[in-house]
């Protein structure tokens, strides 16, 4: 896939099924288990996602809002933060596809989106 499309990195609090459902629609998706990053801090997860050109998908609103603020204040760049309410994987993916289909990777940079 081109960098035009948003790639997703799912935080460890997101069901692994979400990653698989995203891949079924031919989007690039990674999760913490397959990258051996389980147990890393939220800051480390966001840094990894950014280094790999992925927007991070999480349920952890409070911590990732704080990280987004820190990145903004320091003029650092991230590939995007998507915060989802905890719901069944199918419903998360349905909301997520709205973002994946409407925004480019460039438009997602430094954004925090709630689904």
pLDDT digits (tens, 9 = 90+) for 3-20: 789 999 999 999 999 999
Beta pairing partners, 30: 9
Residue 52 within any structural domain of the chain: yes
Question: What CATH number corresponds to the domain at position 63?
Answer: 3.40.50
At residue 16, the pLDDT reads 96
Q: Nearest CA to 58 among 12, 112, 108?
A: 12
At residue 2, the pLDDT reads 46
Residue 1 within any structural domain of the chain: no
Query: pLDDT digits over 76-114, tens only?
Result: 999 999 999 999 999 999 999 999 999 999 999 999 999
Residue 108 within any structural domain of the chain: yes
Q: Into how many domains does the chain fold? A: 1
Domain encompassing residue 58:
7-114
Say yes or no to pLDDT of 1 above 50.
no
Q: Could you give the strand order of the β-sheet that contains 29-31, starting from the edge strand earlier in sequence?
A: 29-31, 7-10, 54-58, 81-83, 112-114
At residue 64, the pLDDT reads 98
Residue 33 within any structural domain of the chain: yes
Give the span between the Cα atoms of 99 and 102, in whole angstroms. 5
Query: pLDDT digits over 29-76, tens only?
Result: 999 999 999 999 999 999 999 999 999 999 999 999 999 999 999 999
């Amino acid at each position: 896939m081109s960098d035009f499309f948003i790639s997703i990195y799912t935080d460890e609090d997101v069901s692994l099924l979400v990653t698989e459902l995203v891949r079924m629609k031919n989007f690039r998706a990674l999760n913490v288990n397959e990258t051996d990053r389980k147990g890393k801090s939220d800051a480390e997860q966001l840094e990894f996602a950014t280094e790999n050109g992925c927007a991070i998908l999480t349920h952890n609103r409070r911590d990732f809002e704080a990280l987004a603020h820190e990145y903004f204040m320091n003029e650092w760049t991230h590939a995007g933060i998507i915060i989802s309410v905890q719901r069944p994987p199918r419903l998360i993916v349905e909301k997520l596809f709205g973002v994946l289909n409407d925004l480019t990777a460039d438009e997602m940079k430094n954004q925090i989106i709630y689904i």
